[in-house]
């Protein structure tokens, strides 16, 4: 499998980019890696890169996007930060990836049993981590399923996973609401944004249909107005 070129990247739609990632994760969970000449890809990308997708994921050592989606050198932009949170620097990186480098899809990839989410659930405060975890607190407060105060902590696995899912959906909305450039690209059908969750026990990535913003014939109910409610 060859590295993407300017031409192959340009020929892709956001929906096609999503399908490539789904197919890659399918190979990953079956332990069937695509055949790649990685050194050949090094040579092929030495003068430029044409990644088709941009993936925001956690720093967790088990969540390498390139491995999870079975992609090679030059295929994806990988942005990693604890808790897959969104900040100004990350938005700028995404704007570069999509507006300048031609990426067709942004994926916010959370994962189960996330340590950063657990820290936020327990209201951990420690050095610079305090500020980072504060960006996860809105997801903690938005969790309504767990009414017992004594169970709203990291010892409750269901609570943690609920918060993780909420955080992914909030991050998807933050990307579009806080970046006029990316919002317009989604409106014009140039890119898509979608949320997903990686299961660290099975290797399966679940894409969230209710956090998918791709304007095409496969999504007739698409509405940017949904983000504002």
pLDDT in tens, 158-195: 999 999 999 999 999 999 999 999 999 999 999 999 99
What residues does 78 pair with on adjacent strands? 55
Residue 172 and residue 108 in contact, taking contact as beta carbons nearer than 8 Å? yes
What is the sign, positive or negative, of the torsion defined by CA atoms of 195, 199, 205, 208? negative
Predicted local distance difference test score (pLDDT) of residue 182: 98
Reply yes or no on whether the pLDDT at 74 is more than 90: no
Predicted local distance difference test score (pLDDT) of residue 222: 66
**How does DSSP assign 97-131, residue by residue?**
IIIIT---EEEEEEETT-HHHHHHHTT---TTHHH
Which of the four pLDDT bands, split at 50, 70 and 90, describes residue 226? low
**Mean of the per-residue pLDDT values of the chain:** 92
Domain boundaries, the chain: 6-228
Q: What are phi and psi of 47, to 5 degrees?
A: -100, 0
Q: What is the CATH number of domain 6-228?
A: 3.40.1050.10
SS3 content of the chain, % helix, strand, coil (to 5): 45, 15, 40
Which of the four pLDDT bands, split at 50, 70 and 90, describes residue 225? low
> Which pTM does this prediction carry?
0.92
Determine the Cα angle at 31 with ends 22 and 72, to 5°. Answer: 60
Q: Say how far apart CA 70 and CA 34 lie, in whole Å.
A: 7
């Amino acid at each position: 499998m060859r590295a993407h070129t300017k031409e192959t990247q340009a020929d892709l739609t956001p929906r096609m980019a999503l399908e490539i990632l789904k197919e890659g994760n399918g190979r990953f969970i079956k332990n069937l890696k695509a055949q790649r000449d990685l050194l050949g890809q090094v040579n092929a990308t030495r003068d430029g890169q044409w990644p088709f997708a941009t993936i925001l994921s956690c720093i967790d050592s088990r969540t390498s996007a390139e491995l999870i989606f079975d992609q090679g050198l030059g295929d994806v932009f990988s942005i990693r930060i604890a808790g897959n949170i969104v900040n100004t620097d990350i938005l700028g990186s995404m704007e570069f990836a999509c507006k300048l480098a031609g990426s067709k899809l942004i994926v916010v990839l959370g994962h189960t049993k996330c340590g950063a989410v657990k820290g936020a659930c327990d209201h951990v405060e420690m050095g610079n981590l305090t500020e980072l975890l504060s960006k996860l607190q809105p997801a903690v407060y938005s969790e309504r399923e767990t009414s017992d105060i004594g169970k709203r902590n990291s010892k409750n696995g269901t609570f943690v996973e609920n918060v993780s899912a909420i955080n992914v959906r909030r991050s998807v909305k933050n990307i579009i609401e806080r970046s006029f450039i990316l919002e317009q690209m989604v409106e014009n059908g140039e890119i898509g944004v979608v949320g997903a969750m990686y299961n660290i026990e099975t290797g399966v990535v679940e894409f969230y249909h209710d956090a998918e913003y791709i304007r095409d014939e496969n999504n007739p109910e698409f509405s940017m107005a949904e983000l504002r409610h």
